[in-house]
Amino acid sequence: MSTNQLILRNLKKNFKNYLLYVFALVFTVALYFSFVTLQFDPSMDAAEGTVKGAGAIKAASVLLIAIVSVFLLYANTIFIKRRSKEIGLFQLIGMTKGKIFRILTMENFILYFSSTLLGVLAGFSFSKLILLILFKVTGVDSAAELRFSPEALNQTLLVFGCIFVLIMAMNYLFIKKQTILSLFRVLSSSEEMVKKISVWEILIGIAGLVLISSGYYISSRMFDGDLSSVNILFLTMIYILGSVIIGTYLFYKGSVRFIFHLIRKKKGGYLSINEVLSLSSIMFRMKSNAFLLTVITTVSALAIGLLSLSYISYYSAEKSAERNVPNDFSIYHSEDAATFKKALEDEEISYTVKEIEVYQANVNMEEVLNSDTEGLNVDPGSLQTAVIGESSVDGLELSEGEAILSGYSSALSSLITFKDSGRIELIGKTERIPLDYLELRDDFILSSPYTFSGFPVVVVDESVMERLSNDLDQEIQRSSFLYTGIEIPDEQDLEHANTIFTELDLANTGPNESQLLTSNSMKNNMGFVMFIVGFLGLTFLITSGCILYFKQVDESEEERPNYTILRKLGFTQWDLLRGIQAKQLFNFGIPLIVGLLHSYFAVQSGWFFFGTEVWTPMIIVMIIYTGLYSIFGLLSVIYYKRVIKDAL
């Protein structure tokens, strides 16, 4: 048989095993080519000023290269080990190591670069769709065209050519250092099969659970009390990160075996065939895969967490804009307000105006705060915030000695909590005005330039406003004492009004704000982040799912003789398949559940800094990730089914 015939025969023989690898390679090449195409697409230049993402896309493409490189090198390691006996047989029949390496190189070259070219074609076909998705989530009004980029092609071939060289170098070193005898032992020694659990492993297992639990607990209290101190917040975050990652590694190294050992001990060592095929197999194999599973779990949690946070911001954009800009337009200077109102009148756009007199004052809130503010670098006895009169709030009536607080954000609530009632003091230049604090409201009355300190606005009786106006501390006053909020009653005129706002360049003449433009800006920024994180997360999901699938394929080949024996003993395909289904549920479910738990506690610890809604965005992201991840578990069950069927 000639060398060419041998290469073709090997490709045909191993094609089924390489099928998912080819799919993952085509997918990653397509995604990378599409990303690089975005960098050179003219429509991105047309969107300049709305999406300034060329640098972010370039950084994402570098991360994509790292993910793909690790995946391809790891997958190649699995495949070269699976072919170790074949390589050993080639040497037995007289082939030199150099010739074997050349044969493997040609096989890989044909498979690798044919997949790469298919990936480029797929990436070109879907590049317009990806650009449309980017423009959709960022709100960019620009035409997307299907355009082939020679620059993107050259960069893609260069990157994946370099990865191919690394793969061939790995294969060369593997073949060179192996003897014929060792090649026949590679598979049998690839997994650690420890039958008895030791005391040390039990301690490791308990330590893993303790570290993860402590990380979860501290993350849930990260902004409570002393932990919210800026001085120790950084150290707290490092501890949480370190304890969770190390705990995850120890969890796979010992906790899983420890938990399953307790289950076996409870059953007195009498296990059903399903439990033998699932629990026992997981106990013996998860320890040897601890590092790999830790990496997969950690990066999965990172991807889910970042995507959840970006989607929280995107999902909450409108509500966040309403909080920061209570009216359709917030005008800071009276001159700008007059200019804008005249422009609206010229265009015959009806509007309503709400004007609020605003003073800045230091307020003593020591008696109404529940939290210790020592670590926040603020003085509760002299908190600077805005003060307005009761006439600015519809339906509110206060006596001279009463006050309420309004505009309590979720971010502030995570750091500082208020009592239901108490005494506060307005501190003027020469006098203090004591007030009875009645309640705390969530309603935001003023735009962010007037509430720059982040603390709620103090609403007082008009007589108190008059007293304060005669005793103002001028050093802390804003340049404007008047808040002008403009509402457009007719929704059909709102877009036109925003066009006028933009044409007058009011956003740059002062801290003037538009609720719609603020919402669109938030969606634009977080939509772009969500786009980048989403595609990187999808890439990692595909590659990590493939790695776990390849591991299961590898294990199924090792366990094939066991299935033959069990079939001869009278167990049916369905008996064995039920055990395999349980096994895959553990193999894919444990890393997924741990990753979801990590991301859940990470998101819960600080979601309020990103938006106003947490559950819906987070659950949507987790469901999508779980659904896609489950596909690989299903594929592994299908492969095992074929192995069991062929066992006899």
Tell me the mean pLDDT in the region 536-541. Answer: 90
Residues 6+ apart with CB under 8 A from 615: none
- Looking at the predicted structure, is the pLDDT value of residue 435 above 70? yes
Q: 347-375 pLDDT, tens per residue?
A: 999 999 999 999 999 999 999 987 666 65
Tell me the mean pLDDT in the region 114-122. Answer: 94
Output the CA torsion 90→96→99→100 (10° steps).
40
Q: Among 97-101, 200-204, 275-279, 533-537, name the one with the lowest average pLDDT.
A: 275-279
Distance CA(643)–CA(340), nearest Å, equals 74
Tell me the mean pLDDT in the region 497-511. Answer: 91
What share of the chain in percent tops pLDDT 70?
91
pLDDT value at residue 50: 45
Distance CA(342)–CA(267), nearest Å, equals 83
Task: Give the pairing of strands 457-460 and 383-389.
Answer: parallel
Distance CA(536)–CA(539), nearest Å, equals 5
- Pick the more confident residue, 119 or 270: 119
Let me know: does 280 contact 197? Beta carbons within 8 Å: no
Q: 34-50 pLDDT, tens per residue?
A: 888 888 877 665 444 44
Distance CA(44)–CA(348), nearest Å, equals 36
Q: 369-427 pLDDT, tens per residue?
A: 876 666 566 788 999 999 999 999 988 999 989 999 999 887 777 778 888 899 999 99
What share of the chain in percent tops pLDDT 90?
46
- Looking at the predicted structure, is the pLDDT value of residue 549 above 70? yes
DSSP conformation class of 474: G
pLDDT value at residue 59: 79
pLDDT value at residue 633: 93
DSSP assignment of 379-398: -TTSEEEEEEEGGGSTT---
pTM: 0.88
Token pair belonging to 3: 């060398």
Q: Among 7-11, 108-112, 271-275, 640-644, name the one with the lowest average pLDDT.
A: 7-11
pLDDT interval class at 646 (50, 70, 90): confident
Output the CA torsion 511→512→517→519 (10° steps).
60
pLDDT interval class at 320 (50, 70, 90): very high
Tell me the mean pLDDT in the region 606-617. Answer: 89
Q: 4-31 pLDDT, tens per residue?
A: 776 777 667 666 667 778 888 898 899 8
Residue indicated by tokens 């066991």: 562
- Looking at the predicted structure, is the pLDDT value of residue 51 above 50? no
- Looking at the predicted structure, is the pLDDT value of residue 325 above 70? yes
pLDDT interval class at 83 (50, 70, 90): confident
Backbone angles phi, psi at 513, to 5 degrees: -135, 150
